[in-house]
Every structure is written in structure tokens, then in C-alpha cells.
């Protein structure tokens, strides 16, 4: 493989992991600016080497794979992303491209200039004016059904106001937490002794994706509408020729739209307004991470069209990172689940880009030395609408004596064993596998949402179980009994039962989730899925060789070596044996890629049991064919499949609304043909 191909390969894998961290786990691990830099590097390499570009490269994708917590929803019209520009020259280059493509005079083009709200994209479908479904962007084609949670958002109309609402219409916009609501919410978290949210975007994402809509309802989310999509609303569509008109119409329907949005004619006026928004970004009620510029004329948009990931008629001008100065109080070291010892800065709290920053990572020993920051220094903290704040460097103050250069500790701050730097790496590790800090982080990670998703196994609980000597390894979780837990501080019989049940439920998790949960080096969710799809059981995986593993698409030599090393280790083998004995499935359901989308966009309600299917697998069969399988019957239901011992309410509701019902024996036919033959009985 050439160096370029290897780099492209590496970038794709890295970006895919970050996509999952950001979109699925709501827990990004690098600043947005660094992510943008990776994507730019990948695009540049792919542009120079078109022979290496693939349709499914992450550079062509939008967002991330859909999580399994919510039902999938297929978007009728793809939810695209926006291309970014980072300065005025790039913005002008975009307008030049527009003029080249559509002709005409740049001084007469009208642009909508809008704040780019830093939240989560949401699409809400209305049928004949009635709210029917709300979905996140997901991978752009399939999103997550968050209808129940969105119904709790105060400014989302359940019914559109006004008359011209016939047909199917999507209102797209951003779900976000207003700055004031975010501060209030964190204040309440603090008062209740709960973890604080890092910034409004993460808090909004976490709130929208609560499994229990009653929890979502407690979060002060808001929705701002910025786009109208006419799925099938010809009457309304005929009256709309400009984006500005759609914004007015959305206002009239009862939505909130950005009051700062204006239409500007000509490039100079547009650029001036972009500057204005940049200057006033802190005066707005919400966090913004850029300015969106859209062509106002809908017919011209149609003419320009889209690429596979973004429209050609819109662009996002990302705003430069924000910086603040504050005092560096101390440098401490934390131990992660792999034993990595990461130095971090303890800061006098400062508000940067709308969120309170009291800590910032310093990455590793070399970074601290390079930046030469010392306890007591005044330092510059930077955030680029970002998640993880970073220290830029010290501000040297005249006449102030500085502390001596900081030295990396020799021993692990948790277990006291010596720390080690391995080979050429800049990272320092605690190599004691029995280090309690590592065990704590490993078990938390195992139970986390992207891994085994064990509800109730948060940081405090794990620390308590470790402290009580009930667990030291993830395999110990499966031996916990209710009697051991009930009576521990803060754990009554009820919560002890729920925790044991949640652990029990996790046994069916697919092999890929177990691999993610074990935190094998270099194996993130994308690699784990690739591995488990090629070796769908633990036994097959554990008998595979380095060459077999390296041959899998998406798995390079580094990952393969790490997996082989992990699986050869005696302790790790023993852990898998214990998993097996405890009854973990350790297998990956096969992904059938060859099924036809016979039920695309159709809602099939299932009631009662169907021979040969569990409830989950029957619903999955519908979803695999592009349909949805909601839990209740409505006017929009395509049909109701009535199995053994059906629910009376669903059958009655179907009769009341005139929705066809079919028997269990017609389910296969429905799956393969998308329809069924009427039976006369």
C-alpha cells in the first residue's frame, strides 16, 4: 500500500470513530477544529488521488451510524450537512463557483445570512398540519425516531397554525439549549450533586436522546426552524419561491425562527452581515459556531443541486476559536482505562464560548514541556465552539516570578507504582493492571452507552462496588447478586434488582459491543463491527490468525496485531470463558444486505406473537426493509399484523380507523412483496 493510501485509510478509520463519539455517544473526544482538520486532510488527499476515493468514504458521509436505542426512521429527503469555509477568501471562492454554475451577476444574487446554531439537526414531519414523527439526522438517510421526546419541546407546534397545511411537509431545524437555560440546568445539576454538562450542545444532545421522554421533558430544550422540505405538499410549494418566504411561513405556522436572519443582496452586503454576526455572537440567546449563507432563490437552488453530502447552494462559515485567559492553579495527572497518565490543568473557572471551564487537558508530558505552562501562570484557554478546551500557552507577566518547570510524576497517583514511557511514544503509562483507577475506568467504559449499555452503572456506582470489593473486573459484574447489593449505601432492594436486571439484559448484546466494552487498543466501534461481522462468534474470532484479521476491510495491521495480542493473553481468555459461563451471547447478528426495501416509508404495527419471530426480530425484519414498526396504530399505519394473542386495543383501533389487518401467515408475503393478497374468510 502506498503511503498516501495508508494515510487515507487511517484518516477514514479515525474520522469514523470520532463520528460515533460525537453523534452516537454525545461524548466527543477531540475539539471540533481538530476534527475539521482531519476531514480536510482526507478530502484533500482524495481530491489529489481520485483513484482512492470511494463512495462510502467518511468524507462523503454525513453524521454517523444510527444508534440502536431508538427506532430508525428513513428520511424521505436526505438530511445533508453543510460544507465549511474558514475565511473570507474561501467564502468568495464559493460565490464565484455559484456564479459560474448559474451565470448572471453576482451583485444581484440574494443570500440568506443566518446564525449557525450549535445544537442537533432535527426533522419534524407534519401530515395535513399534524405532527407525526420527529427524527434526528443519523447518517443522513436514516435517523432516530425521537418523536416522544420532541413532543415535550415547548416551542414545537403539535399542529400547524393557518390554512395552507395540506400534504406532507418537513420542518427542519436545530434542537438546542438557550444559554440561559443551560446555565439554569447546570445550576440544578450542581444543587442535586449531579455531573455538570460541558456545554449546551452536549447537554441538548443528551437531553434529546433520553430513553425516557419524561426525562427529556425536564430539560429546557428549544427548537429553531431553518428549512422547509416539501415532501408532498404541492399547494404550499407552489406559493414559495424564496427561502425568506419559507421562513415567514414557518413563523406563521407557529415555529421560532432566528430573528437575526436577514436577506442580503450582493456579495459585499452578505460579507458585511457575516461580520456583524461574528461580532455579535455573544449577544445572541444561543451558542453559535458559525454563520450559514444560503442562496435565497429556490429555483436556483434546484438548478444547483447537491453533492452526496452537502447542498451546493449553502455554505457554513466557521467562526475562529475563542480564547480567554485565566490562572493555572495546578497540573494534575489522571489515569485512564488503558493506564495512560494524562496531565491536565486545574484552572480558575472561566467562561469560554458560553460554558464554564475549570479543567483542560494537557495531553502528555511533551506537550506540557512544549507549551511551558507552570502552576501559577496566567494561561490562554481556547475553545472553538468546541467540546474540549485546550491550553494555548502562558501569558508571561512582567515582574512576576514563575514556578519551576513542572515535572511529570514518577509514580502513579492512584496505585503508587512507577509510571513508564514506552519507546518513542509521548504517552506515559501506569503499567500495573491491578491499578484501581484503571479498573474503575474500564468497568465504567464497559457499561457505557456505546458498549454494553448497562443502565445504573455510572461512575459513582462502579466506584462503590470496587470500594466494597465486590468487583475488580468486568466479568465480576455477571456474578453480582441482589442480596450483595441491597443494603449498600444508596441501593435499596428495588435499585439493586434493577441493576442486576440491567446487567442480565446486557448478556444479549452483540459481540461487537463486547469488543468495544473491553477497550482493546485501537478497536473502536467501527473496527469492532467489522471484526464481528467477519467472525460472528467469539469462538471464530479467537481461532482466527493475524492474516485472517488483517484481511478484513477496515482493519489494518495495527488493529489486527492488537486484537491478536489481546486474544492470546491468558487473562483475557479467562475473562471470555467467564463471559461464556455467565451466558453472554458473544455473537453478532448477521447483517443481510441483500433484502429489498419492500416496506420503504411504511409503518407496520405488529401485535401478538408471530411464529418464528421474537417481537424484536419481527420489528427488525420490517425495519431492514425500510419500514418502521411503531408501537401504536394511527391513521398513518400501513397495516397491522395480528399474531397469536393480539392486543385488543390495537385491533380495535385498526378497525376504527379502517387500517387493514393481516394474519401472521401473511407476514412473510408482506416482507417479500410489500403487500398481501386479500383472504376471504
Could you give the residue numbers annotated as active site?
Answer: 116
| Chain residues in the site for ligand IVH (CB under 6 A) | 80-82, 114, 116-117, 121, 174, 226-227, 292, 311, 314, 316
Q: Which lies closer to ligand IVH via its Cβ, residue 125 or residue 533? A: 125
Q: Which lies closer to ligand IVH via its Cβ, residue 292 or residue 474? A: 292
Angle at 338 between CA 370 and CA 64, to 5 degrees: 90
Grid cell in block for residue 225: 426552524
Q: Largest Cα–Cα distance in the chain?
A: 96
User: Please, what is the minimum distance in Å from the beta carbon of residue 199 to ligand IVH?
Assistant: 15
Show Cβ contacts of residue 240 under 8 Å, excluding neighbours closer than 6 positions: 228, 230, 246, 249, 298
Grid cell in block for residue 279: 461580532
The dihedral over CA atoms of 637, 641, 645, 651, expressed in degrees to the nearest 10, equals 40
Q: Which lies closer to ligand IVH via its Cβ, residue 78 or residue 564? A: 78
Q: Which lies closer to ligand IVH via its Cβ, residue 175 or residue 236? A: 175
Confirm if 222 and 176 have CB atoms less than 8 A apart.
yes
Alpha-carbon distances of 427 from 30, 101, 392, 456, rounded to whole Å: 17, 50, 19, 32
Angle at 179 between CA 175 and CA 183, to 5 degrees: 115
Which is nearest to 36 in space by CA: 96, 89, 82?
82
Q: What are phi and psi of 497, to 5 degrees?
A: -60, -45
- Rounded Cα gap, residues 235 and 147, in angstroms: 26
Confirm if 671 and 624 have CB atoms less than 8 A apart.
no
Q: What is the DSSP letter of 283?
A: G
User: Please, what is the minimum distance in Å from the beta carbon of residue 385 to ligand IVH?
Assistant: 11
- Rounded Cα gap, residues 635 and 133, in angstroms: 13
Q: Which residues of 113-143 are buried (b: 16+ CB within 10 A; e: fewer)?
A: bbbbbbbbbbbbbbbebebebbbbbbbbbbb
Q: Angle, nearest 10°, between helix axes 179-191 and 200-208? A: 80
Q: Which lies closer to ligand IVH via its Cβ, residue 59 or residue 544? A: 59
Residues facing 224 on adjacent strands: 174
| In the complex, residue closest to ligand IVH by CB | 121
Q: What contacts 24+ positions apart, CB below 8 Å, involve 630-635?
A: 630/71, 630/603, 630/605, 631/605, 632/605, 633/605, 633/657, 633/659, 634/132, 634/603, 635/659
Q: Which lies closer to ligand IVH via its Cβ, residue 306 or residue 632? A: 306
Which is nearest to 606 in space by CA: 653, 655, 667, 665?
667
Which is nearest to 320 in space by CA: 372, 371, 274, 374?
274
Q: Which lies closer to ligand IVH via its Cβ, residue 18 or residue 653? A: 18
In the block, residue with C-alpha cell 503499567: 431
Amino acid at each position: 500500500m502506498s503511503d498516501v493510501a495508508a494515510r487515507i485509510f487511517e484518516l477514514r478509520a479515525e474520522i469514523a470513530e470520532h463520528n460515533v463519539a460525537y453523534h452516537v455517544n454525545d461524548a466527543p473526544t477531540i475539539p471540533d477544529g481538530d476534527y475539521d482538520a482531519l476531514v480536510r486532510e482526507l478530502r484533500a488527499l482524495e481530491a489529489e488521488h481520485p483513484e482512492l476515493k470511494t463512495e462510502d468514504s467518511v468524507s462523503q458521509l454525513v453524521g454517523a451510524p444510527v444508534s440502536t436505542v431508538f427506532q430508525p426512521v428513513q428520511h424521505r429527503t436526505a438530511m445533508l450537512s453543510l460544507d465549511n469555509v474558514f475565511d473570507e477568501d474561501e467564502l468568495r471562492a464559493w460565490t464565484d463557483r455559484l456564479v459560474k454554475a448559474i451565470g448572471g451577476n453576482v451583485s444581484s444574487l440574494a443570500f440568506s445570512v443566518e446564525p449557525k446554531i450549535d445544537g442537533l439537526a432535527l426533522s419534524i414531519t407534519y401530515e395535513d398540519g399534524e405532527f407525526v414523527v420527529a427524527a434526528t439526522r443519523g447518517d443522513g438517510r436514516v435517523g432516530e425516531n425521537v418523536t416522544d421526546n420532541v413532543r415535550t419541546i415547548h416551542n414545537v407546534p403539535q399542529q400547524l397554525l393557518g390554512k395552507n397545511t395540506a400534504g406532507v411537509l418537513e420542518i427542519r431545524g436545530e434542537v438546542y439549549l438557550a444559554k440561559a437555560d443551560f446555565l439554569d440546568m447546570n445550576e440544578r445539576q450542581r444543587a442535586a450533586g449531579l455531573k455538570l454538562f460541558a456545554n449546551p450542545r452536549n447537554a441538548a444532545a443528551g437531553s434529546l436522546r433520553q430513553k425516557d421522554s419524561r426525562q427529556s421533558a425536564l430539560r429546557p430544550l428549544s427548537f429553531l426552524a431553518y428549512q422547509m422540505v416539501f415532501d408532498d405538499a404541492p399547494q404550499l410549494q407552489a406559493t414559495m419561491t424564496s427561502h425568506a418566504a419559507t421562513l415567514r411561513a414557518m413563523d406563521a405556522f407557529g415555529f421560532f425562527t432566528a430573528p437575526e436572519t436577514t436577506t442580503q443582496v450582493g456579495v459585499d452586503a452578505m460579507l458585511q452581515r457575516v461580520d456583524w454576526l461574528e461580532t455579535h455572537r455573544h449577544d445572541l440567546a444561543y451558542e453559535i459556531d458559525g454563520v450559514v449563507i444560503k442562496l435565497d432563490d429556490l429555483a436556483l437552488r434546484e438548478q444547483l443541486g447537491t453533492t452526496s453530502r452537502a447542498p451546493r447552494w449553502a455554505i457554513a462559515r466557521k467562526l475562529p476559536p475563542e480564547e480567554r485567559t485565566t490562572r493555572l492553579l495546578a497540573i494534575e495527572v489522571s489515569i485512564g482505562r488503558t493506564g495512560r497518565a494524562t496531565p491536565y490543568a486545574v484552572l480558575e473557572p472561566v467562561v469560554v464560548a458560553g460554558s464554564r471551564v475549570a479543567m483542560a487537558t494537557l495531553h502528555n508530558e511533551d506537550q506540557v514541556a512544549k507549551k511551558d505552562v507552570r502552576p501559577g501562570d496566567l494561561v490562554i484557554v481556547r475553545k472553538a465552539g468546541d467540546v474540549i478546551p485546550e491550553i494555548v500557552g502562558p501569558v508571561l507577566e512582567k515582574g512576576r516570578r514563575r514556578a519551576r518547570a513542572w515535572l511529570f510524576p514518577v509514580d502513579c497517583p492512584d496505585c503508587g507504582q512507577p509510571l513508564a514511557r514506552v519507546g518513542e511514544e509521548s504517552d506515559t503509562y501506569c503499567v500495573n493492571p491491578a491499578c484501581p483507577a484503571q479498573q474503575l475506568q474500564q468497568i465504567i467504559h464497559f457499561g457505557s452507552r456505546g458498549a454494553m449499555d448497562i443502565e445504573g452503572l455510572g461512575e459513582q456506582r462502579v466506584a462503590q462496588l470496587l470500594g466494597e470489593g465486590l468487583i475488580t473486573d468486568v466479568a465480576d459484574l455477571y456474578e453480582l447478586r441482589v442480596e450483595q447489593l441491597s443494603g449498600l449505601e444508596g441501593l435499596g432492594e428495588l435499585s439493586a434488582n434493577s441493576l442486576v436486571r440491567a446487567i442480565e439484559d446486557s448478556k444479549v448484546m452483540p459481540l461487537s459491543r463486547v469488543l468495544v466494552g473491553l477497550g482493546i487498543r485501537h478497536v473502536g466501534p467501527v473496527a469492532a463491527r467489522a471484526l464481528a461481522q467477519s467472525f460472528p462468534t467469539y469462538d471464530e474470532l479467537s481461532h482466527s490468525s493475524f492474516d485472517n484479521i488483517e484481511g478484513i476491510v477496515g482493519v489494518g495491521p495495527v488493529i489486527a496485531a492488537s486484537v491478536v495480542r489481546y486474544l492470546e493473553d491468558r487473562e483475557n481468555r479467562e475473562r471470555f470463558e467467564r463471559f461464556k459461563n455467565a451466558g453472554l451471547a458473544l455473537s453478532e447478528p448477521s447483517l443481510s444486505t441483500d433484502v429489498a426495501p419492500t416496506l420503504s416509508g411504511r409503518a407496520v404495527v405488529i401485535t401478538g406473537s408471530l411464529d418464528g419471530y421474537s417481537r424484536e426480530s419481527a420489528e427488525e425484519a420490517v425495519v431492514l426493509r425500510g419500514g418502521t414498526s411503531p408501537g401504536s396504530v394511527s391513521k398513518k399505519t400501513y397495516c397491522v399484523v395480528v399474531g397469536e394473542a393480539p392486543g385488543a386495543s390495537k385491533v380495535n383501533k385498526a378497525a376504527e380507523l379502517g387500517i387493514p389487518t393481516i394474519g401472521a401467515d401473511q407476514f412473510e408475503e408482506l416482507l417479500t412483496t410489500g403487500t398481501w393478497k386479500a383472504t376471504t374468510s
